[in-house]
């Protein structure tokens, strides 16, 4: 983690990092906590050739550019996890799920511009009006084509299938494995 030196409250070079949890200013007494960020992910199981597949997006930006992820992202201030899941799904694949149900949560480290963000990733299982894999793939479109390079369906019938997928984040491995417990 980058060292912060200057207090955002008083501007003095008096910040120290305490117990790997917060920055404290010896001059004005400010405590700035290093809290966990909330993020969401959607696990969508899609039928293709009568087999279950997982819908994944190919990341177009760092971190982990070129790797695969479930559609998702950070929860915005004032937003519930469910609202964030629906919003992120629409932003990343251009569709709104018919329904979402809680699946699991997992910790993750998200490194962005040399800063490690510790996250709690909350996963939901998503269903869509369109359940045919080929037709669904033809309807997908990300709001930001720089963020998402493409879409893929990967077979997901047993836990060993997960090891064959180049997933961007370890929390997605946890989420997908939870479906086999």
**Annotated active-site positions, please?**
147
Separation of alpha carbons 53 and 131, rounded Å? 11
Enumerate residues 6+ apart whose C-beta is below 8 A from 72.
39, 40, 41, 42, 85, 88, 89, 92, 121, 123
Give one DSSP letter per residue of 113-176, joined into a string: TTEEEEEEEEEEEEE-S--BHHHHHHH---S-TTTEEEEEEEE-SSGGGGGGS-BS-HHHHHHH
Residue by residue, DSSP assigns 45-61 as: EEEETTEEEEEEEEE-S
Q: How many residues does the chain have?
A: 181
Whether the CB-CB separation of 46 and 55 falls below 8 Å is answered with yes
| Distance from the Cα of residue 32 to its chain's centroid | 25
């Amino acid at each position: 983690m980058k060292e912060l030196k200057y207090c955002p409250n008083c501007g003095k070079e008096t910040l120290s990092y305490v117990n790997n949890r917060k920055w404290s200013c010896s001059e004005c007494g400010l405590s700035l906590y290093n809290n966990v960020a909330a993020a969401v992910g959607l696990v969508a199981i899609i039928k293709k050739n009568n087999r279950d597949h997982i819908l994944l997006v190919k990341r177009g930006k760092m971190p982990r550019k070129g790797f695969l992820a479930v559609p998702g992202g950070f929860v915005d201030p004032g937003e519930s996890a469910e609202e964030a899941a629906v919003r992120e799904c629409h932003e990343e694949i251009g569709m709104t799920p018919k329904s979402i149900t809680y699946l699991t949560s997992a910790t993750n480290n998200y490194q962005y511009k040399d800063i490690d963000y510790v996250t709690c990733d909350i996963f939901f299982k998503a269903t869509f009006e369109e359940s045919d894999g080929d037709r669904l793939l033809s309807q997908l479109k990300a709001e930001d084509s720089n963020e998402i390079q493409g879409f893929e369906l990967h077979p997901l019938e047993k836990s060993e299938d997960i090891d064959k997928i180049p997933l961007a984040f370890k929390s997605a491995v946890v989420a997908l494995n939870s479906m086999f417990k």
